[in-house]
């Protein structure tokens, strides 16, 4: 709608988790580095939690893109699976044809053989399973996942797992029936919202990545209002910034003011409605 007016190649504040827009700032940079270091060290189970809209899916996809040829990566975006479905999904990611295999035990044997094969010889790959929205995974499926991570050689785990989920995942993992799974988690990271400085860096990074030459400006008070109205959650930041740009476009200006952001906040379900009336 406003791309030509602002001189942009693409929408800078799309909600699609596009890794080119990943900002290596603060705890997002720290989380990515922690994940890469832990995985290369051979840690078996890692957990990343964060509230809705903190950018867990984007971090997950960035991680998958950053890992080198040492890893064979697999990704499950929808964890609402039965134990059998999870096992078959992992088998499918490993290239195992399970159509003719009815027995779960036999599929597990095939998975074990595939993992061993990938970890030795010319391949020497570490298999990584990333599960998004893990808080939605049924208890019995979480337990099955623990059993999958029992697969190991004499020296290392054959399957590494990273769970990405909302804080409800921690509640689930505290349940007595899967306490053994919680004990397996060697690294945990909690994603926090962007702070005031981070909002400015985030906005500028996305604008420049989308093709801006620097002509679009969010006034400092507009950025402060944007941070307060979104509480620093990137998804809300994107929604509010997008609406602010639309309002700027409608007025024919590239200068985004507190008035633009205030109108965007008032128009957005889920935004934090604060008393901004005294702001100029």
pLDDT of 121 strictly over 90: no
Q: Cα 153 to chain center, whole Å? A: 30
User: What are 63-91's pLDDT values in tens digits?
Assistant: 999 998 889 998 998 889 999 999 999 99
Q: Are residues 203 and 259 in the same domain?
A: yes
* d(C-alpha 153, C-alpha 211), whole Å: 49
Q: Are residues 100 and 60 in the same domain?
A: yes
Question: Residue 122 has what pLDDT?
Answer: 67
Q: How many residues does the chain have?
A: 280
Q: Are residues 226 and 94 in the same domain?
A: no
Q: What DSSP designation does 178 have?
A: G
Question: Residue 277 has what pLDDT?
Answer: 47
The number of domains in the chain is 2
In CATH, what number is assigned to the domain containing residue 120? 3.40.50.300
Q: Which of 191, 206, 239 marks a domain boundary?
A: 191
In a domain, 20, yes or no: no
Q: What DSSP designation does 134 have?
A: G
Q: Which of 162, 191, 220 marks a domain boundary?
A: 191
pLDDT of 48 strictly over 70: yes
Closest by alpha carbon to 187, among 19, 30, 24? 30
Closest by alpha carbon to 10, among 19, 57, 1? 1
The residue ranges of DSSP E strands in 87-237, in sequence order, are 126-131, 159-165, 185-191, 217-218
Q: Are residues 231 and 130 in the same domain?
A: no
Contact 76, 130 (CB under 8 A): yes
In CATH, what number is assigned to the domain containing residue 209? 1.10.8
User: What are 122-158's pLDDT values in tens digits?
Assistant: 668 899 999 999 999 999 999 898 888 887 665 678 8
- Tell me the pLDDT band of 104, cut-offs 50, 70 and 90: confident
Q: Are residues 182 and 230 in the same domain?
A: no
Q: Are residues 75 and 103 in the same domain?
A: yes
User: What are 163-215's pLDDT values in tens digits?
Assistant: 999 999 999 999 888 888 888 898 999 999 999 899 999 999 999 999 999 99
Neighbouring-strand partners of residue 127: 72, 159
Q: Are residues 68 and 133 in the same domain?
A: yes
- Tell me the pLDDT band of 279, cut-offs 50, 70 and 90: very low
* d(C-alpha 178, C-alpha 248), whole Å: 52
| pTM attached to this predicted model | 0.91
Q: Are residues 34 and 168 in the same domain?
A: yes
For 85, the token pair is 């479905």
Backbone angles phi, psi at 185, to 5 degrees: -75, 115
Domain span at 244: 3-10+195-266
User: What are 22-39's pLDDT values in tens digits?
Assistant: 999 988 999 999 999 999
């Amino acid at each position: 709608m406003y791309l030509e007016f602002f001189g942009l190649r693409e929408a800078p504040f799309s909600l699609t988790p596009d890794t080119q827009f990943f900002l290596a700032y603060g705890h997002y940079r720290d989380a990515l580095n922690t994940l890469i270091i832990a995985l290369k060290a051979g840690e078996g189970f890692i957990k990343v939690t964060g509230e809705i809209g903190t950018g867990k899916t984007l971090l997950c996809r960035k991680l998958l893109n950053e890992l080198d040829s040492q890893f064979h990566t697999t990704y499950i975006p929808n964890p609402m699976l039965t134990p059998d479905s999870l096992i078959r999904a992992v088998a499918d990611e490993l290239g195992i044809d399970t159509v003719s295999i009815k027995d779960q035990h036999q599929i597990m044997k095939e998975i074990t053989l595939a993992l061993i094969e990938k970890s030795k010889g010319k391949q020497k790959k570490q298999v990584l399973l990333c599960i998004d929205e893990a808080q939605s995974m049924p208890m019995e499926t979480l337990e099955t996942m623990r059993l999958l991570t029992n697969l190991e050689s004499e020296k290392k785990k054959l399957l590494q797992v990273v769970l990405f989920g909302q804080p409800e995942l921690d509640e689930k993992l505290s349940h007595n029936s899967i306490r053994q799974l919680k004990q397996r988690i060697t690294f945990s990271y909690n994603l926090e919202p962007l702070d005031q400085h981070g909002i400015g860096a985030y906005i500028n990074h996305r604008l420049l990545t989308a093709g801006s030459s620097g002509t679009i400006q969010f006034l400092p008070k507009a950025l402060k209002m944007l941070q307060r109205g979104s509480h620093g959650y990137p998804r809300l930041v994107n929604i509010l910034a997008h609406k602010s740009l639309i309002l700027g476009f409608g007025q024919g200006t590239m200068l985004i003011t507190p008035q633009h952001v205030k109108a965007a906040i008032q128009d957005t379900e889920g935004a934090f409605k604060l008393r901004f009336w005294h702001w100029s």
